[in-house]
Amino acid sequence: MKGILLALAFVCGLMCVKAQAQLNLIPAPVEYSARSGCISSKEMAGLHEKVRISQKTLLRLLKGRKLEDWQLKSAYQLELGKKGVKIVAADEEGVFYARQTLRMMASLNSSVTCCTILDWPRLRYRGVMLDESRHFQGKDFVMKQLEMMALLKMNRFHFHLVDNPGWRVQIDSYPKLTRLTAWRPQAYFWDWEKNEIGGPFVEEGTPGAYGGYYTKQDIADILSFANERHIEVIPEIEMPGHNYETRAAYPELACSLPGGGKDPWELCPGKERTFEFLEKVLLEVFDMFHSQYIHIGGDEARKNNWKVCPDCQARMKAEGLKSVEELQSYMIRRMERFAHEHGKRIIGWDEILQGGLAPDATVMSWHGIEAGLQAVKEGHDVIFTPTHYYYLDYHQDPAQFRAVGRHVPLEKVYSFEPLSESISEADAHHVLGVQGNLWTEHVQDAWHAEMMLYPRVFAIAETGWSQAEKKNWPDFERRASALSQVARKWGYTVYPPDSTRPREGCD
């Protein structure tokens, strides 16, 4: 009998060692130590949980390691034993992340080794951006992605709600935005836009029209779902470029030129009416969203109209502005003052550096990292989302259908280091974090959008959360493959997609 028990203990020990060798967590935790024994994932579901929220206890467990306040808020220690799990955290947020760790362990392994994990994030902003203007997915899709983000301990969802091909959020003071420009005859973006000129919109209710928008109730539902998962939703209201749809609904917001000027996208910063529009829209957006930040866009304004528009020229003269870049900067600074008056801070794409950066603006560095480095030098906060690493509309495989021509495979995404050597230790706090951007010119269907997101978002999550020295490509590749399999079982489309998936819509 004793022999049988010993043999059983040996077999169980081997299983545990195997489970330990396959700790599949993404993002990798700061400290992991295996303890004796293991527990089946089924048992984990009913395990007794003891939670202690106490900063003092957590600090004792950290043994003198100095964390920033925002790190302490997310930090946790969990002890998984055969009889139960103990969680210590300084805040509910840490408890939430401990539970995500347990959820991931139970999902990835049939047998989980008893262990102690001590963990906290490296960067405070770990984000995903979704472009809902070019193609519209809607509330259920967004919530499904928020669920995956939470599992990955990501905490910012940048909601790109308005752009040339469609306005996607209810604004009561300007109802034509959604009635006239949230719908179009063609579903696929490239069938609608030809040679950089947008196509027609059609009125809400037109039979066969493609489009949609979020009502205020939809936004409230999404926010409540996100809040429960400790994710801040940051809305983006684009200005002054990328406003083809706004001008279709309210042509008086374009420059005082025939047809609103040659450039089809820009608002006129010469007119007071434009500021009245933006302020009224933002007031409603501030009421809907509780985020600390509002993203004001700022990218790719061509500014040619402004050089010849009498209103823009008059504004430049009155304000002593020497260039159209300074005119853009005037507009962004003015919108920043308005945001401050309402307790908000602004984020803008890196073009907001042109003509002088607004005093408190956070820069989203997308052309590369140089703009971000310049902003850090000027004492501004930065979020890195460089095209060559984090643009998720770029393809993962040269044969992939409907994607932008650059190759951004998983390993490339994983290789990005946000705290480059040229950022001094004293300036490192200005690097808020990282974000993957899914632009959807080419991405019409929900399954396609997910295939572009995953598994690359797993890599961004690990870069945002895990300590740099914990990153290890071969090990991550193995873990990403394990998580991809589980995500597919949960109904996510993960690249490479299941070969049985219909390939309709492929180029």
Q: Which residues contribute to the site for Zn ion (CB under 5 A)?
A: 255, 268, 270, 309, 311-312
- Binding-site partner at residue 477 among ligand ACM, Zn ion, none, CB < 5 to 8 Å by type: none
- Binding-site partner at residue 268 among ligand ACM, Zn ion, none, CB < 5 to 8 Å by type: Zn ion
> Please, what is the minimum distance in Å from the beta carbon of residue 261 to Zn ion?
7
> Please, what is the minimum distance in Å from the beta carbon of residue 315 to Zn ion?
8
Is 263 a known active-site residue? no
Q: Quick one: 94 or 348, whose CB is closer to ligand ACM?
A: 348
- Binding-site partner at residue 255 among ligand ACM, Zn ion, none, CB < 5 to 8 Å by type: Zn ion
Is 504 a known active-site residue? no
- 457 vs 438: CA distance, rounded Å: 10
CA 312 vs. chain centroid, Å, equals 34
- For the beta carbon of residue 285, count every other beta carbon within 10 angstroms: 20
- 347 vs 362: CA distance, rounded Å: 5
Catalytic residue among 69, 228, 300, 378: 300
Q: Quick one: 264 or 270, whose CB is closer to Zn ion?
A: 270
- 368 vs 331: CA distance, rounded Å: 24
Catalytic residue among 135, 242, 380, 448: 242
Q: Quick one: 289 or 366, whose CB is closer to ligand ACM?
A: 366
Catalytic residue among 131, 132, 163, 238: 163
Q: Tell me which residues touch ligand ACM (CB under 6 A).
A: 299-300, 349, 366
Query: On the CB side of 78, how many CA atoms lie within 13 Å of its CA?
Result: 28
- Binding-site partner at residue 270 among Zn ion, ligand ACM, none, CB < 5 to 8 Å by type: Zn ion
> Please, what is the minimum distance in Å from the beta carbon of residue 299 to ligand ACM?
4
- Binding-site partner at residue 235 among Zn ion, ligand ACM, none, CB < 5 to 8 Å by type: none
Query: In the bound complex, which residue of the shown chain has the CB atom lying closest to ligand ACM?
Result: 299
> Please, what is the minimum distance in Å from the beta carbon of residue 394 to ligand ACM?
11
Backbone dihedral angles phi then psi of residue 182, each to the nearest 5 degrees: -105, 5
Q: Quick one: 147 or 299, whose CB is closer to ligand ACM?
A: 299
Query: Any idea what DSSP says for residue 391?
Result: B
Q: At what angle do helices 216-228 and 272-288 cross, to 10 degrees?
A: 50
Q: Quick one: 144 or 273, whose CB is closer to Zn ion?
A: 273
Q: Quick one: 320 or 405, whose CB is closer to Zn ion?
A: 320
- Binding-site partner at residue 366 among Zn ion, ligand ACM, none, CB < 5 to 8 Å by type: ligand ACM
- 326 vs 265: CA distance, rounded Å: 19
Q: Quick one: 312 or 332, whose CB is closer to Zn ion?
A: 312
Is 300 a known active-site residue? yes
User: Taking a C-beta distance cutoff of 8 angstroms, is the pair 362, 347 a contact?
Assistant: yes
Residue count of the chain: 507
Tokens of 506: 């492929």
For residue 433, give the 3-state DSSP assignment: strand
CA angle 486, 14, 458 (to 5 degrees): 25
> Please, what is the minimum distance in Å from the beta carbon of residue 439 to ligand ACM?
6
CA angle 196, 199, 205 (to 5 degrees): 150
**Exposed, middle or buried, 368 (CB in 10 Å: 0-12/13-18/19+)?**
middle
**DSSP line for 48-104:** -EEEEE-HHHHHHHHTT----HHHHHH-EEEEEETTEEEEEESSHHHHHHHHHHHHH
**At which residue do the structure tokens 């040339």 appear?**
164
Nearest to 132 by CA among 171, 90, 167: 167
- Binding-site partner at residue 43 among ligand ACM, Zn ion, none, CB < 5 to 8 Å by type: none
Catalytic residue annotation = 163, 242, 300
